[in-house]
């Protein structure tokens, strides 16, 4: 394992310290907990948006704490959901009385820990609701399974629900809009390499020099299938086809595109992929309203990327374009 | 008869067994999950062990509740809320009691498992810890009903839990992280079922000592 | 070689297409050339700032084209200086009559190609000057060598000279300020892995599983020495000591810090390194005015990072804090 | 006597030789540089070869100027401006001439090398292409002065260039990318010196055919 770390058991704590030191104008730490809240929080008069999950997905989620996005982010151990105690601290630190919406990625662990935190908050009279993000079309969404995973599409929920909250909408409204985003966003990813959880010291799986894994999750979970490595065009087409089929895109539809790096992919490759994605969208007569490109929801140093498409309507478009100012996402 | 002292000893032994099997549980989880189950469980039970001194003279309810709260506040992942809820529900059954009879034991188990089901919304056959826990529980009931002693019942439960783990190899996961793999999860044993088996085995080993 | 690409010979072109498609509100391409200019360029009434160099350092330099930073970026082949013809096109496309300042990293190839481009521009009556960035303290700056390399500190030149140009200062002033930045900035880096130029198909060097390379350049050039991998604290201390010694930092000095990822390093590790860097600065009583952290000057998928320190005065501080709006650097 | 037809043939042969040695030049560059010298040169000379048909009936000055401009506009890196400037300066010497005598050849070489020095500000002994070019040039002068034919002179120049490449192995780079390595550059031959040797050898092979 080659990493710029000290003690593998202490990576989350040291990372959070490093974040606060880098961005004191954006975030502060809830003393004694792995929770970062807005430097000026809790912000009066607005619904608080909180998110979190296992660490290792940076800049998710702490990088999105700031104006127009999250009020707090809760960090679990690497790839492990945070405990209810931690989430509960996040809820308390973010709440200003207008209620709290938790953005939860659809993993058994996350669901249960956030749910238990909500029960704790409820017992203290804090209004809490949650939105479950399940954008990964790699996984079949059947009633017999836990359903789709939440992956990079979560960024769109942070951005759009964040704008809604920032504009002062009610908890009910912010939740309604979040649900619309979840219904309208689909993601699929692939990887060229695995990644190594610091405490584990070795990669979760191994890919041969000419192999790639398609449809994998953001925790180094194996994907849906493994194949010989293909060209940027073929890979992008495979992901786009799966996504478009699922979301049923039609000519003249407007979308926002997120080309998300998994941590170890050079920006050059993301742009090459975007070039292909853009061509495929144009071929179908679909209009790209906005493209977001870079490392947003990562899996440590994994090489690979995901594509997310968000089908827009006027309301989502306006909120997507609304200003945001956070360490990892800024928009004038 | 299960005393609070014995309960403390059981929990200490579970801590040791989990620590010994940390890497083993991670490796199992890595095959079809994310490879952290051993770390998660070890972190939790190490924290539990540290709390045991404080509650060593308390009743079984307090001991189990402390265990539950510690697991909930340290483990995270899927295992934290599930085991945490199991212990919490079990604690309620024996609130205030220092000595537990067979009926208490059955009730504790029953409530604990119901807690897991309530929290995780899974059932038997979905390749989870329930596939070890439920057969073990049923075996305990059967054994005690037919007049066996609790040490004997736990020996039989351990065997049932072990069979449950083996059974998880033959099925497809439909809950938890492994469910994302679809049929690729077949052939691998479930990590949570394995830790449940280890816990039941440790109870058995401790009360049979 | 595992990369999300099509034809290795066409990566730069496809990347530039992908950039324009992702950020049409910021950049457009000079038809037929590997040059991106501001979407609204040439911008009247301001000195044009242009930069460039080999590709593979993304987001450098095209990612910094926009308000308050660059007017044009010229992209060479991967790790190869662009030709004078390409640079000349950049100069012409960016110039609005107030003169052009070229920000050049100190490599023989870059120096010569930009110089020849300036000769071409000069022949057409365009006012061109240049600033050579040489911030890498890993390399000795002696009169017998080509001097220090230009590395991540270049970002500070883009930012600060960019602000000066945006404010309407003269070519002479923008150059004076750029020179001050170059005098005040020092960088040193290390890597855990090598990187693979697409056309080459294999890594430039190979590091063993327990080795790291210290003081290397951003083109996969071998560094000053190779050692067993160390802790984040030790690595950061080694880099910081070398930098601080060179720039002679004193108590109460104010600095800007850039923790720059080389492309394959998870943000988690950069923040852990920042935690150490911050402690070391505090120990010496040095004041951190601003921290920039992320992938700014990369070497494809190389894992590793560099630290840059910029010693600030009132003028540099004001310009550093000035607003910027580009794909890869935004500041309100 | 060097005719414009022979010059075209030489340039075509250089293109072939560079293409054949593309990977070899990259590998040499990779050891102490950035591993692209072969690609850079190959890209440039392939572009030159494409232009040769257009200028095949022109004078030597035009042919060399076209070569120079093509190298300048396609190669990039350090090699582009250096070789480009060399050809540009050489072109000036023979402007308008279709047939070159030995004096022209010497002058062309002299000006070309001066161009490299002007552009790159290096001198002999800094582990660059100059360490092959300068000894080769001196040998040509010496040979022609002592009455040798130009084919003979180039055979001797090739040997001198080769020795120059060997010499670069023994010295430390103080110019170009390899200079960042300090003493670690010793023991490796210089990529640009190697391509210069290949070019001189190709001239020699062509005119000796
Ligand atoms: N819904 C569920 N009900 C019961 N047990 C579950 C459920 N989901 C997961 N598990 C158990 O949890 C185990 C995984 O625990 P762990 O690895 O600690 O958490 P995570 O999956 O979050 O990494 C699985 O092996 C399985 O036995
Ligand atoms: N200042 C200089 N003067 C003469 N030759 C030089 C100089 N700098 C570099 N070179 C030559 O250029 C060669 C490298 O060319 P190339 O690899 O194409 O460019 P780059 O170093 O930009 O990648 C070196 O091997 C050396 O012979
Ligand atoms: Mg986990
Ligand atoms: Mg797990
Ligand atoms: Mg080069
Ligand atoms: Mg080179």
How would you write C128-188 as a 3-class SS string? Answer: EEEEEECCECCCCCCCCCCCCCCCCCHHHHHHHHHHHHHCCCCHHHHHHHHHHHHHHEEEE
**Average pLDDT of the segment spanning D158-175:** 96
CB contact burial A241-275 (16+ within 10 A = b; e otherwise)? ebbbebbebeeebbbbbbbbbbbbbbbbbbbbbbb
Mean pLDDT computed over every residue of chain C: 95
**Average pLDDT of the segment spanning B49-58:** 95
Residue A151, both tokens: 């992956």
Q: Using a CB-CB distance cutoff of 8 angstroms, which residues of chain C are in contact with residue D26?
A: 200
Q: State the angle between helix axes of D130-145 and D150-170 in degrees (0 to 180), rounded to the nearest 10.
A: 150
Give the nearest ligand 1 atom to B131 CA: 27
CA atoms within 13 A on the CB side of C172: 0
Q: Quick one: pLDDT band at residue C261, thresholds 50, 70, 90?
A: very high
Q: Is C33 helix (H, G, I), strand (E, B) or coil?
A: coil
Q: Is the pLDDT of residue A220 over 90?
A: no
Residue B103, both tokens: 């009926």
* B145 contacts: CB under 8 Å, gap ≥ 6: none
Q: Is C289 helix (H, G, I), strand (E, B) or coil?
A: strand
* Contact flag A81-B33 (C-beta cutoff 8 Å): no
Task: Identify the residues whose C-beta falls under 6 Å from ligand 1.
Answer: A 80-81, 108-109; B 29, 33-34, 36-37, 40, 77-79, 82, 116, 120-122, 128-130, 175-177, 190-193
Q: Using a CB-CB distance cutoff of 8 angstroms, which residues of chain B are in contact with residue A220?
A: 34-35
* Sequence spans of domains, chain C: 8-183, 185-324
Task: Please return the burial class of C148, using the count of CB atoms within 10 Å of its CB with bins 0-12, 13-18 and 19+.
Answer: buried
Has the ipTM of the complex gone over 0.85?
A: yes
Q: Is A108 helix (H, G, I), strand (E, B) or coil?
A: helix
Residues of A numbered 212-271 whose beta carbons fall under 8 angstroms of chain C's beta carbons: which are they?
Answer: 212, 229, 231-233, 235, 259, 263-271
Contact A232, A271 (CB under 8 A): no
Residue B126, both tokens: 């979905």
Report whether residue D193 contacts ligand 2, using a CB cutoff of 6 Å: yes
Phi-psi region of D76 (alpha: psi -120 to 50; beta: other; left: phi over 0): left
CA-nearest residue of chain A to C274? A18
Q: Using a CB-CB distance cutoff of 8 angstroms, which residues of chain C are in contact with residue D40?
A: 77, 80
Mean pLDDT computed over every residue of chain A: 95
Handedness of CA D5, D7, D13, D18 (dihedral sign): negative
Report whether residue D44 contacts ligand 2, using a CB cutoff of 6 Å: no
Q: Is the pLDDT of residue D207 over 70?
A: yes
Q: Quick one: pLDDT band at residue C79, thresholds 50, 70, 90?
A: very high
Give the nearest ligand 2 atom to D177 CA: 21
Bridge partners (DSSP) listed for residue C132: C104
Q: Measured between CA atoms, how close is C183 to chain A, in angstroms? A: 24
Residue A58, both tokens: 């940076």
Residue A65, both tokens: 């704490």
Residue with tokens 């044993």: B189
Quick: pLDDT tens for B64-92: 999 999 999 999 999 999 999 999 999 99
Residue C78, both tokens: 């991967």
**How far apart (Å, rounded) are the C-alpha atoms in residues B112 and B91?**
9
Q: What is the pLDDT of residue C62?
A: 98
Q: What is the pLDDT of residue C206?
A: 87
Pairing label, strands C185-191, C128-133: unpaired
How many other C-beta atoms can be found within 10 angstroms of the C-beta atom of residue B110? 16
Phi-psi region of B63 (alpha: psi -120 to 50; beta: other; left: phi over 0): alpha
* Sequence spans of domains, chain B: 2-208
Helix or strand (DSSP H, E) at C330: strand C330-331
Stated pTM of the model:
0.94
**Average pLDDT of the segment spanning A251-278:** 98
Q: Quick one: pLDDT band at residue A224, thresholds 50, 70, 90?
A: confident
* Contact flag B119-A85 (C-beta cutoff 8 Å): no
Q: How far is CA C318 from CA A27, C41, C167, C256, C288, in A?
A: 23, 25, 12, 12, 14
Q: Quick one: pLDDT band at residue C141, thresholds 50, 70, 90?
A: low
Mean pLDDT computed over every residue of chain B: 95
Q: Which 8-state DSSP code applies to residue A261?
A: E
**Average pLDDT of the segment spanning D16-41:** 93
**How far apart (Å, rounded) are the C-alpha atoms in residues A62 and A19?**
8
Among D122, D203, D99, smallest CA distance to D161 is for D203
Q: How far away, in angstroms, is C217 Cα from ligand 5 center?
A: 12
Q: What is the pLDDT of residue A143?
A: 54
Contact C277, C188 (CB under 8 A): no
Q: What is the pLDDT of residue D66?
A: 97
Q: What percent of chain B has pLDDT over 70?
A: 100
Q: What is the pLDDT of residue B180?
A: 79
Q: Quick one: pLDDT band at residue C144, thresholds 50, 70, 90?
A: low
Q: Is A203 helix (H, G, I), strand (E, B) or coil?
A: strand
**How far apart (Å, rounded) are the C-alpha atoms in residues B199 and B201?**
5
Task: Please return the burial class of C28, using the count of CB atoms within 10 Å of its CB with bins 0-12, 13-18 and 19+.
Answer: middle
* Contact flag C81-D80 (C-beta cutoff 8 Å): yes
Closest residue CA from atom 13 of ligand 2: D192
Q: Quick one: pLDDT band at residue A204, thresholds 50, 70, 90?
A: confident
Q: Is the pLDDT of residue C143 over 90?
A: no
Quick: pLDDT tens for B134-173: 999 999 999 999 999 999 999 999 999 999 999 999 999 9
Q: Is the pLDDT of residue A144 over 60?
A: no
Top CATH class, B2-208: mainly alpha
Active-site annotation holds for A61: no
Query: φ and ψ at D174, to 5 degrees?
Result: -125, 0
Quick: pLDDT tens for C161-194: 999 999 999 999 999 999 999 999 999 999 999 9
Quick: pLDDT tens for A266-319: 999 999 999 999 999 999 999 999 999 999 999 999 999 999 999 999 999 999
Handedness of CA C61, C64, C66, C67 (dihedral sign): negative
Bridge partners (DSSP) listed for residue A65: A70
Top CATH class, A185-324: alpha beta
* Contact flag B36-A197 (C-beta cutoff 8 Å): yes
Cα pseudo-dihedral B99, B103, B105, B109, rounded to 10: -150
**C and D make contact (3+ CB pairs below 8 Å):** yes
Active-site annotation holds for C61: no
How many other C-beta atoms can be found within 10 angstroms of the C-beta atom of residue C7? 12
Q: Is the pLDDT of residue A320 over 80?
A: yes
Q: What is the pLDDT of residue A142?
A: 56
CA atoms within 13 A on the CB side of A220: 31
**D and A make contact (3+ CB pairs below 8 Å):** no
Q: Is the pLDDT of residue C95 over 90?
A: yes
Q: What is the pLDDT of residue A310?
A: 98
Q: What is the pLDDT of residue B28?
A: 95
Q: What is the pLDDT of residue B192?
A: 98
* Contact flag C199-D36 (C-beta cutoff 8 Å): yes
Contact A289, A255 (CB under 8 A): yes
Q: What is the pLDDT of residue D172?
A: 92
**How far apart (Å, rounded) are the C-alpha atoms in residues C62 and C74?**
8
Q: Is the pLDDT of residue A141 over 70?
A: no
What's the angle, vertex CA C287, arms to CA C281 and CA C288, rounded to 5?
Answer: 80
**How far apart (Å, rounded) are the C-alpha atoms in residues B71 and B13?**
16
**How far apart (Å, rounded) are the C-alpha atoms in residues B26 and B187?**
17
How many other C-beta atoms can be found within 10 angstroms of the C-beta atom of residue C295? 26
Among C327, C267, C4, smallest CA distance to A297 is for C267
Closest residue CA from atom 7 of ligand 1: B176
Q: State the angle between helix axes of A171-184 and A314-321 in degrees (0 to 180), rounded to the nearest 10.
A: 100
Question: What are the start-end ranges of the H helices in chain C?
Answer: 11-22, 84-94, 108-123, 154-166, 171-184, 232-247, 267-283, 314-321
Q: Is the pLDDT of residue A76 over 70?
A: yes
Contact D68, D85 (CB under 8 A): yes
* Contact flag C204-D174 (C-beta cutoff 8 Å): no
- DSSP string covering B107-147, please? HHHHHHHHHHHHHH---TTSSSTHHHHHHHHHHHHHHHHTT
Q: Quick one: pLDDT band at residue A145, thresholds 50, 70, 90?
A: low
Q: How far is CA A144 from CA A216, B172, B176, B180, C202, in A?
A: 20, 11, 12, 11, 46
**CATH domain A8-183 topology:** Rossmann fold (3.40.50)
């Amino acid at each position: 394992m080659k990493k710029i770390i000290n003690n593998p058991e202490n990576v989350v704590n040291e990372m959070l310290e490093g974040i606060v030191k880098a961005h004191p104008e954006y975030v502060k730490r809830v003393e004694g907990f792995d929770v970062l809240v807005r430097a000026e929080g809790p912000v009066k008069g607005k619904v608080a948006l909180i998110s979190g999950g296992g660490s290792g997905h940076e800049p998710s989620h702490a990088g999105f704490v700031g104006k127009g996005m999250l009020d707090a982010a809760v960090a679990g151990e690497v790839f492990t959901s945070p405990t209810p105690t931690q989430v509960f601290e996040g809820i308390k630190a973010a709440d200003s009385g207008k209620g709290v919406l938790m953005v939860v990625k659809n993993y058994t662990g996350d669901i249960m820990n956030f749910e238990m935190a909500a029960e704790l908050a409820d017992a203290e009279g804090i209004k809490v609701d949650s939105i479950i993000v399940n954008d990964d079309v790699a996984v079949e969404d059947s009633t017999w399974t836990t359903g789709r995973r939440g992956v990079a599409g979560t960024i769109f929920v942070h951005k759009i629900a964040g704008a809604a909250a920032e504009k002062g909408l009610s908890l009910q409204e912010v939740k309604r809009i979040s649900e619309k985003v979840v219904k309208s966003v689909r993601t699929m990813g692939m990887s060229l390499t695995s990644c190594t959880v610091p405490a584990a010291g070795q990669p979760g799986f191994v890919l041969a020099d000419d192999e790639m894994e398609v449809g994998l999750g953001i925790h180094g979970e194996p994907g849906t299938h493994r194949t010989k490595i293909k060209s940027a065009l073929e890979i992008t087409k495979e992901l786009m086809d799966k996504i478009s089929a699922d979301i049923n895109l039609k000519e003249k539809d407007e979308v926002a595109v997120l080309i998300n790096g998994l941590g170890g992919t050079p920006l050059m490759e993301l742009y090459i992929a975007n070039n292909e994605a853009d061509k495929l969208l144009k071929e179908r007569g679909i209009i790209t309203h906005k493209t977001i490109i870079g490392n947003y929801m990562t899996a440590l140093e994994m090489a690979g990327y995901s594509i997310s498409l968000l089908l827009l309507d006027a309301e989502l478009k306006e909120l997507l374009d609304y200003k945001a100012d956070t360490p990892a996402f800024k928009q004038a | 008869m299960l005393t609070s002292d014995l309960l403390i000893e059981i929990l200490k032994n579970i801590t040791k067994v989990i620590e010994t099997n940390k890497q083993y549980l991670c490796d199992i989880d890595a095959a079809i999950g994310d490879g952290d189950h051993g770390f998660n469980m070890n972190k939790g039970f190490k924290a539990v062990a540290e709390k045991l001194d404080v509650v060593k003279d308390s009743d079984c309810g307090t001991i189990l509740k402390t265990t539950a709260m510690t697991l909930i506040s340290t483990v995270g992942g899927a295992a934290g809320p599930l085991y945490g809820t199991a212990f919490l529900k079990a604690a309620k059954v024996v609130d205030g009691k220092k000595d537990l009879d067979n009926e208490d034991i059955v009730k504790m188990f029953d409530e604990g498992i119901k807690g897991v089901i309530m929290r995780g919304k899974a059932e038997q056959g979905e390749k989870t810890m329930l596939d070890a826990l439920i057969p073990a529980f049923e075996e305990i009931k059967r054994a005690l009903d037919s007049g066996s002693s609790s040490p004997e019942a736990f020996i039989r439960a351990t065997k049932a839990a072990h069979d449950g783990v083996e059974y998880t190899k033959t099925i497809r996961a439909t809950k938890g992280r492994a469910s994302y793999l679809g049929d690729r999860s077949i052939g691998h044993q479930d990590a949570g079922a394995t830790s449940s088996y280890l816990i039941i085995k440790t109870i058995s080993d401790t009360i049979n000592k």
